[in-house]
A and B are shown apart, each in its own frame.
Chain A
């Protein structure tokens, strides 16, 4: 039986290196084991008193034969040896495995413990290092006070940070260290002392030292502390940390000052400066903004725009702009927007809105600067209005106005000038005025002269050819007086109408003076004329042989009336008498004509049938033949060209009859004198827009320009002396123009007949 003899050799002490230990142990073990087996077997064999093993061997292999050699016997004994050896080996291997497992478990446990210890050690070392680092690196120092509240200890950092050597501080109380500060704010210090005397902990007490150390000013310190007690709870003093916050405070102060300065600046700016978030809340507003909204700056901040500005339409628009800027992230320039301030005044703002991102804000805001341009806008509008007004003034001026530079290039045209030149201002600008207004080309010399002399130069009654018609224009060139604008303005007024009116006025004046004269002398002349004419009539009657009274008288004195009559005829006395009579009649006619020139106060206008009137005049003209005997009206073909639309018109019938009769007689006379072969007079009426037109047209000899010019002048006649008074047409002219507010004109050329046109106003109101 194998004995558990090898237990004494069981290793038990832990060996640091497990694998090394395990290998050595194993080799020795197996050697030991083999030796023990051999010894054991030898001992068993040697000590076998009953030779039990021989029995056993015989049992197994059979009894030992004689012939068996020593080798076989040795083999038998070897088997015997091997049995315990195998048993021991098995036992040893089992033991070994068990041990090995236990060792491994133990080793693992040890390893774990070892690791933990190492980690703990490391953490401790790190913590120590950190603490060292923190203490060294932190801005804080450590201080201690004794039970009398006097500094007993200050870490190195104190000097590093404050520049105050700690020996100046040790032994002082805190209030002694901060004498000035405690004087400045005793309340703060009173509370602090209370805390200290009551041995309470405190945090973040800030004060200023009177000591300045290597720095110039007292330092700001922030300290925290806890009371210290011993194991019996007796108060030992204070321990705590301190930090120098001077720089921080200075930075804060500087920041505050800087902010204040900026605040002052933005408040001084007269423009509105503000910042709003996307909900329209004011993040910033300067005083101008607050004033405009009728609030204080503080009121405004954090209030919404829509609350402080209650004009919905404007608020909506402004907030929409804000959002646009915030969303797009690009600035927006608003050239003009209306804004109603708190007083209800509508102002015009020019605003720029800029997206604003600030570190403190998690979303973009908008920064706005609004400039009140109400005044500028008003001024601008005023300028524009003034410009328009001035343009209107020059455009409304009936004169042609042409602004030119000293070289004659057009700078300005007014509307009449545009019409006259047939070119717009824009098109004419920069062109030579003579090119646009050829009729004024000759004025260039005047332009230069006006600028040189600095005074206006006039050219009155300049004759112009306007589409073949003779026109008169007054031209004035005046230099521009302003210092910085040299040039001139050419002013042209078409005075054709005025010239005509003036000549007509002269005519009228002449006629009126004739009329006045005639009225004054008519009575004086008419009486002698009466005597002459009546006397002639009586003479002719009283020499007539057929009158009974004449015969009676002749008989009474014994003369032959017939012979007397014959004598009178023979000596042409009767012819002379007839001459006296005719001359008297003509003189009476002149006086009567001259009297027509005086204005009539009494209105004798009536509604007249024009055709009937013309027919009456034609009859009168035909009967006139007998009187004058110079022309034969019946030879003349009368053509009637009456406008059926024109029937009735207002006029002084006898006056108009006189005028037309006069025209007819003149035409007949002129044609008779010239011997026109087929004399024709056309009577034409036309209804014009505002006038009734009556024309008397003949195909007679016509008139030259010289005659035409003077035709309506009083006492102007082309007839032989004695054939006309020279008043007929001037009277007609007077009747038409003065008494009827009409027009009498004539068109004629030598050899081409004449056309007299009477235009009478159709409306009753246009009559005088």
Chain B
């Protein structure tokens, strides 16, 4: 079966390109431009294991979104896809198991590493 992957990014073309690539890679992709609809989708949608999160979002910043989603969905794994070059992971996110390998800086000339990371995270979630 194909896994769901959640994408939150306010840049439409980024969303669409990621969706296209990941769908080609066999994912079912749910993409939202902000956190609120994403939460709504998660609440009544299918179980989702991986989320690619942008940092600058219209309704809240990516770090807070990750905290919020993690609280409700502790199994959800995050990949950070940010346009900010000076982004560094806050300590509490590191405490949640995130590290610098989860951070991907825009522009991603090659989305293959991101897709591979998402696949690895989804597989890790399957194991236990």
B86 CB → nearest A CB, Å: 7
Additional A-B contacts beyond A523-B84, A530-B11, A581-B109 (9; CB < 8 A): A526-B84, A530-B17, A530-B83, A531-B11, A533-B107, A534-B17, A534-B108, A541-B24, A542-B24
- The answer to whether A534 touches B14 (Cβ under 8 A) is yes
Which of the segments A78-86, A565-573, A587-595 contacts the partner chain? A587-595
B39 CB → nearest A CB, Å: 23
- The answer to whether B84 touches A530 (Cβ under 8 A) is no
Q: In the assembly, what is the distance between CA of A522 and CA of B20, in Å?
A: 25
Which residues of the partner chain B approach A522 to less than 8 Å between Cβ atoms? 83-85
Q: In the assembly, what is the distance between CA of A602 and CA of B88, in Å?
A: 11
B120 CB → nearest A CB, Å: 20
Proximity string of chain A (547-586) to chain B, C-beta cutoff 8 Å, 1 when within and 0 when not: 1010000000000000000000000000000000100110
Which residues of the partner chain A approach B107 to less than 8 Å between Cβ atoms? 526-527, 529-534, 584, 588
Which residues of the partner chain A approach B88 to less than 8 Å between Cβ atoms? 602
- The answer to whether B24 touches A533 (Cβ under 8 A) is no
Quick one: which of B28-48 are within 8 Å of A by CB? none
B125 CB → nearest A CB, Å: 25
Neighbour of B21 across the interface among A519, A529, A538, A591, CB < 8 A = A538
Chain A residues with a Cβ under 8 A of chain B = 519, 522-524, 526-535, 537-538, 541-542, 547, 549, 581, 584-585, 588, 591-592, 595, 598, 602
B96 CB → nearest A CB, Å: 21
- The answer to whether A542 touches B20 (Cβ under 8 A) is yes
The interface residues of chain B, by DSSP majority, are classed as loop
Closest Cβ neighbor of B18 among chain A residues: A534
B102 part of interface (Cβ distance < 8 Å)? no
Neighbour of A534 across the interface among B23, B105, B111, CB < 8 A = B111
Given A522-B85, A523-B56, A537-B106 contact (CB < 8 Å): no
Q: In the assembly, what is the distance between CA of A99 and CA of B28, in Å?
A: 207
Closest Cβ neighbor of A536 among chain B residues: B109
- The answer to whether B85 touches A591 (Cβ under 8 A) is yes
Neighbour of A523 across the interface among B13, B83, B110, CB < 8 A = B83
A708 CB → nearest B CB, Å: 31
Neighbour of B106 across the interface among A530, A581, A595, CB < 8 A = A530
Q: In the assembly, what is the distance between CA of A549 and CA of B27, in Å?
A: 13
Closest Cβ neighbor of B55 among chain A residues: A523
Which residues of the partner chain A approach B56 to less than 8 Å between Cβ atoms? 523
Which residues of the partner chain B approach A549 to less than 8 Å between Cβ atoms? 23-24
Q: In the assembly, what is the distance between CA of A193 and CA of B109, in Å?
A: 151
- The answer to whether B83 touches A527 (Cβ under 8 A) is yes
A526 CB → nearest B CB, Å: 4
Given A537-B109, A588-B107, A530-B14 contact (CB < 8 Å): yes
B100 CB → nearest A CB, Å: 12
A470 CB → nearest B CB, Å: 39
Which residues of the partner chain B approach A529 to less than 8 Å between Cβ atoms? 106-107
Which residues of the partner chain A approach B23 to less than 8 Å between Cβ atoms? 549
B104 CB → nearest A CB, Å: 10
Quick one: which of B84-115 are within 8 Å of A by CB? 84-86, 88, 105-111
- The answer to whether A538 touches B106 (Cβ under 8 A) is no
List 26 A–B pairs whose Cβ atoms lie within 8 Å, in order of A's numbering. A522-B83, A522-B85, A523-B83, A523-B84, A526-B106, A526-B107, A527-B14, A527-B83, A528-B13, A529-B107, A530-B11, A530-B17, A531-B107, A533-B107, A534-B13, A534-B107, A537-B17, A537-B111, A538-B24, A541-B21, A581-B109, A584-B107, A584-B109, A595-B85, A595-B86, A598-B86
Given A519-B85, A531-B13, A538-B109 contact (CB < 8 Å): no
Closest Cβ neighbor of B10 among chain A residues: A527
Q: In the assembly, what is the distance between CA of A661 and CA of B106, in Å?
A: 23
Which residues of the partner chain B approach A519 to less than 8 Å between Cβ atoms? 85-86
- The answer to whether B83 touches A588 (Cβ under 8 A) is no
B85 CB → nearest A CB, Å: 5
- The answer to whether B13 touches A535 (Cβ under 8 A) is yes
A710 CB → nearest B CB, Å: 27
Which residues of the partner chain A approach B14 to less than 8 Å between Cβ atoms? 527, 530-531, 534
Given A533-B109, A584-B107, A538-B17 contact (CB < 8 Å): yes
Closest Cβ neighbor of A532 among chain B residues: B107
Given A522-B85, A535-B17, A585-B109 contact (CB < 8 Å): yes
- Most chain-B CB neighbours within 10 Å: which of A538, A549, A581, A585? A538
Q: In the assembly, what is the distance between CA of A591 and CA of B84, in Å?
A: 11
Q: In the assembly, what is the distance between CA of A598 and CA of B86, in Å?
A: 10
Which residues of the partner chain B approach A541 to less than 8 Å between Cβ atoms? 21, 24
Which residues of the partner chain A approach B13 to less than 8 Å between Cβ atoms? 528, 530-531, 534-535
Which residues of the partner chain B approach A530 to less than 8 Å between Cβ atoms? 11, 13-14, 17, 83, 106-108
- The answer to whether B83 touches A538 (Cβ under 8 A) is no
Q: In the assembly, what is the distance between CA of A315 and CA of B35, in Å?
A: 103
Q: In the assembly, what is the distance between CA of A95 and CA of B124, in Å?
A: 201
A180 CB → nearest B CB, Å: 124
Which residues of the partner chain B approach A591 to less than 8 Å between Cβ atoms? 85
B27 CB → nearest A CB, Å: 12
- The answer to whether A534 touches B21 (Cβ under 8 A) is yes
Given A527-B11, A530-B11, A592-B17 contact (CB < 8 Å): no
Q: In the assembly, what is the distance between CA of A462 and CA of B92, in Å?
A: 59
Closest Cβ neighbor of A549 among chain B residues: B24
Q: In the assembly, what is the distance between CA of A479 and CA of B15, in Å?
A: 76
Which residues of the partner chain B approach A526 to less than 8 Å between Cβ atoms? 83-85, 105-107
Which residues of the partner chain A approach B20 to less than 8 Å between Cβ atoms? 538, 542
- Report, nearest first, the 8 A-B pairs whose CB atoms are least far apart: A531-B13, A534-B17, A529-B107, A530-B107, A526-B83, A530-B106, A526-B106, A523-B83
Q: In the assembly, what is the distance between CA of A588 and CA of B111, in Å?
A: 15
B90 CB → nearest A CB, Å: 14
A529 CB → nearest B CB, Å: 4
B11 CB → nearest A CB, Å: 5
Q: In the assembly, what is the distance between CA of A144 and CA of B60, in Å?
A: 151
Q: In the assembly, what is the distance between CA of A595 and CA of B107, in Å?
A: 14
- The answer to whether A533 touches B108 (Cβ under 8 A) is yes
Which residues of the partner chain A approach B83 to less than 8 Å between Cβ atoms? 522-524, 526-527, 530
Which residues of the partner chain A approach B106 to less than 8 Å between Cβ atoms? 526-527, 529-530
Q: In the assembly, what is the distance between CA of A218 and CA of B106, in Å?
A: 137
Q: In the assembly, what is the distance between CA of A731 and CA of B88, in Å?
A: 22
Closest Cβ neighbor of A550 among chain B residues: B24
Which residues of the partner chain B approach A585 to less than 8 Å between Cβ atoms? 109
Closest Cβ neighbor of A534 among chain B residues: B17
Which residues of the partner chain B approach A524 to less than 8 Å between Cβ atoms? 83
A370 CB → nearest B CB, Å: 84
Q: In the assembly, what is the distance between CA of A598 and CA of B84, in Å?
A: 13
- Most chain-B CB neighbours within 10 Å: which of A531, A584, A585, A598? A531
Which residues of the partner chain B approach A527 to less than 8 Å between Cβ atoms? 11, 14, 83, 106-107
Which residues of the partner chain A approach B24 to less than 8 Å between Cβ atoms? 538, 541-542, 547, 549
A434 CB → nearest B CB, Å: 58
Which residues of the partner chain B approach A598 to less than 8 Å between Cβ atoms? 86
Closest Cβ neighbor of A595 among chain B residues: B85
A522 CB → nearest B CB, Å: 5
B19 CB → nearest A CB, Å: 9
Closest Cβ neighbor of A602 among chain B residues: B88
B69 CB → nearest A CB, Å: 22
Which residues of the partner chain B approach A534 to less than 8 Å between Cβ atoms? 13-14, 17-18, 21, 107-108, 111
Which residues of the partner chain A approach B109 to less than 8 Å between Cβ atoms? 533, 537, 581, 584-585, 588
Q: In the assembly, what is the distance between CA of A595 and CA of B82, in Å?
A: 15
Q: In the assembly, what is the distance between CA of A48 and CA of B23, in Å?
A: 239
Proximity string of chain B (49-60) to chain A, C-beta cutoff 8 Å, 1 when within and 0 when not: 000000010000
Which residues of the partner chain A approach B84 to less than 8 Å between Cβ atoms? 522-523, 526
Q: In the assembly, what is the distance between CA of A591 and CA of B23, in Å?
A: 30
Which residues of the partner chain A approach B11 to less than 8 Å between Cβ atoms? 527-528, 530-531
B109 CB → nearest A CB, Å: 4
B57 CB → nearest A CB, Å: 12
Q: In the assembly, what is the distance between CA of A534 and CA of B111, in Å?
A: 7
A219 CB → nearest B CB, Å: 127
